Amino acid sequence: MTPDTTTAVAEPVEMTFSDFSLAEPIQRAVAQMGYRTPTPVQLAAIPVVMSGRDVMAAAQTGTGKTAGFALPILQRLLPLASSSPSPARHPVRALVLAPTRELADQIFVNFREYAQFTPLRVACVYGGVDIQPQIAQLRMGCEVLIATPGRLLDHVGQKNVNLSQVQIIVLDEADRMLDMGFMPDLQRIMMLLPPVRQSLMFSATFSEEIKKLGNTFLKMPQLIEVARRNATADNVTQQMFLVGRSDEKRAAVAHLVRTRDLKQAIVFSNTKIGCGRLARELKADGLNAEAIHGDKSQQDRQKTLDAFKAGEITVLVATDVAARGLDIAELPAVINYDLPYSPEDYVHRIGRTGRAGASGLALSLMVPGDERLLEQIEKLIGRKLSPEALEGLPVRSRVPGDHSTGFTETRQRSARADRSEHSERPERPARRTQADRPESNYRSRAQLPGWSSDRFFYQPYEPSAAAVAAEAASVAAAQGAAAGPASRGVGGRRGSRSVAALLGGKLPG
C-alpha cells in the first residue's frame, strides 16, 4: 500500500453539496436531512470515493463520515439502479461492515434516508436479533447491505445472500473491529468478494495493525485525515456542580432538567443498578425517564433508544457501555450523575451532545471525595472546570408516595441496594451479558484488548511517545488513588491518551 496523503481541510470552506455534482435525488435527500454544508471529512472523501479510488480515512462516528461514503456510493450505484421489483435486479453491490449492532443500525438509517429518492434498496443485518426478518429482507434484494461480520457470515452460510457482485466494500471503525477480534471474519468475507472492487476503510487510528489490514485490503489508497481539534468540542458548554451529598444527586438531576428547561438529556450513571434506580426515581419525581444499560436485552435497548430518538423520552439514563457510539441528533445536554472513573469517559460522554456542529450542554455533578476524578478530567481536557454550587436545589426531597420518613429512609433503602452483590460495580464489558456482547461470534475477552476503554473515541491519531508516557503516569497515579473497581476500570486501558476531536469540524453558520 502506498497511500497518497490528503489532509482534509481543517477549517470548513464555503462549499455546498451541489458542488459535488451529486445526482438530483441524492441532493434532494441531503437537503431534506437539513445538511447545508459538508463536514471536513465529507469535503475530503466525497470526491475521492466518487472517483472510484480506494480510501483510508481517519474519521469516527460523529464527524459526518457516513454521508462521506454513502453519498458517493449511491452516486456510483445510481446508473445501475433498477426499478424492477425482481430481487435478481437488486444484487448486493456495496457492502458496509460495522463492528456493533447499534452502529450498523445507525448507518442503515442514514443510508436509507440518503437513498430514499432513488430506486436503490438498502438492507441491514446484525446479530442478537431474529434472523428470519433479515432473510426475508435479503430475499427481496438490496444494492447496499450494512452488516456486522458474524451475522453476515451466518447469512452467507445459509445462502441467504450472495456477495459475488460487490463492487464497493466499506470497513467502518476498522480499528474497533480489530480490537473486537473480527479479523478472521473479515478475512473470510474478503475472500467472498470479487478481487476488482473499490475498498474504503475508516478508522480512528493508523496503528501498525491497521496499516497491515490496509495493506491486505486496499490498493493505492488515498489517505484522508481530518485535522485534529481540541480535546473537547468548543461548542459544548461544560459546567461542574458541587452537591453536598450523594443522595442529593437525584434531586439535582431533576432540578437541572427542569430549571434548564432541557428538552432531552442523557444522564450518565457509573453502574447498572444505579442507572435503573435513578430512572425509576426520576420517573417517580414526574420526569419522563428510562434506563438503558448492558443488562437490558438488545430489543429493550433498541426500543428505548428509538423512543428517545423520537423524542418520546425526556431523560435517558445510561451507563457508558450502553451509550457507546450513539448518535442522537441535536441532543441538547448530557448530565454526569456520577463523574466517570476514567477521564476519557468524560470526553466520550460529553461528545454525545454538540454533534455535527450543534451546540450542547454538559452538566456534571460532583460530591466531596470526587476531587481526584475532577483533577484527572481537567488534566485530560486541559482546562479547569471550576465547580460551582447548585443554586435553588431543594434541601430535602421526597419521592412521591413515600410517606414514611421521607428522604432518609429512601436513602437507607438505596444504601441497602448499593450493597447487593456486583450491583454497584461500574459497568464494564467483563461483566457483559451475552446480549451485550458485540456479536454472536464474540470470542474470549483476551481477544478484546482495549474494548473496555473504547479506544476508538480517544485516539484518532497516533500519539507521541511523550504523550503516552504522560498518560501512563497519570493512569498509574489514578490507580494508586482510586479505590476498588474504579482502579480496575482505569487499569484495563491500554495507552489511552489525549483526546482528539469527537467531531471532524464545526459547521459554519
Residues that bind ligand AMP (CB under 6 A): 35, 38-39, 42, 61-67, 110, 327, 329, 355-356, 507
C-beta closer to ligand AMP: residue 356 or 363: 356
- Residue given cell 457508558 in the structure block: 320
Q: Where are the alpha helices (DSSP H) in 427-482?
A: 465-481
d(CA 160, CA 135): 6
**Shortest CB 168 distance to ligand AMP, Å:** 17
C-beta closer to ligand AMP: residue 11 or 421: 11
- Residue given cell 511523550 in the structure block: 466
**Shortest CB 333 distance to ligand AMP, Å:** 17
Q: Where are the alpha helices (DSSP H) in 62-182?
A: 65-77, 101-114, 132-139, 149-157, 174-179
Contact (CB, 8 A) for 293 and 324: no
Dihedrals phi, psi of 203, to nearest 5 degrees: -150, 150
C-beta closer to ligand AMP: residue 282 or 347: 347
C-beta closer to ligand AMP: residue 321 or 502: 502
**Shortest CB 179 distance to ligand AMP, Å:** 19
**Shortest CB 226 distance to ligand AMP, Å:** 11
**Shortest CB 144 distance to ligand AMP, Å:** 15
Interhelix angle for 24-33 vs 101-114, to 10°?
A: 120
**Shortest CB 206 distance to ligand AMP, Å:** 19
C-beta closer to ligand AMP: residue 410 or 459: 459
CB-based contacts of 358, cutoff 8 Å, min separation 6: 235, 330
C-beta closer to ligand AMP: residue 350 or 377: 350
d(CA 429, CA 451): 8
Amino acid 82 reads S
436 is written with which cell numbers?
Answer: 451485550
Q: Is residue 144 classed exposed, middle or buried when 0-12, 13-18 and 19+ CB atoms within 10 A define those classes?
A: buried
Could you give the 3-state DSSP secondary structure of residue 308?
helix
Q: Is residue 195 classed exposed, middle or buried when 0-12, 13-18 and 19+ CB atoms within 10 A define those classes?
A: exposed
**Shortest CB 330 distance to ligand AMP, Å:** 8
**Shortest CB 106 distance to ligand AMP, Å:** 6
C-beta closer to ligand AMP: residue 26 or 486: 26
C-beta closer to ligand AMP: residue 110 or 336: 110
d(CA 397, CA 247): 10
Taking alpha carbons only, the member of 95, 97, 91, 51 closest to residue 224 is 51
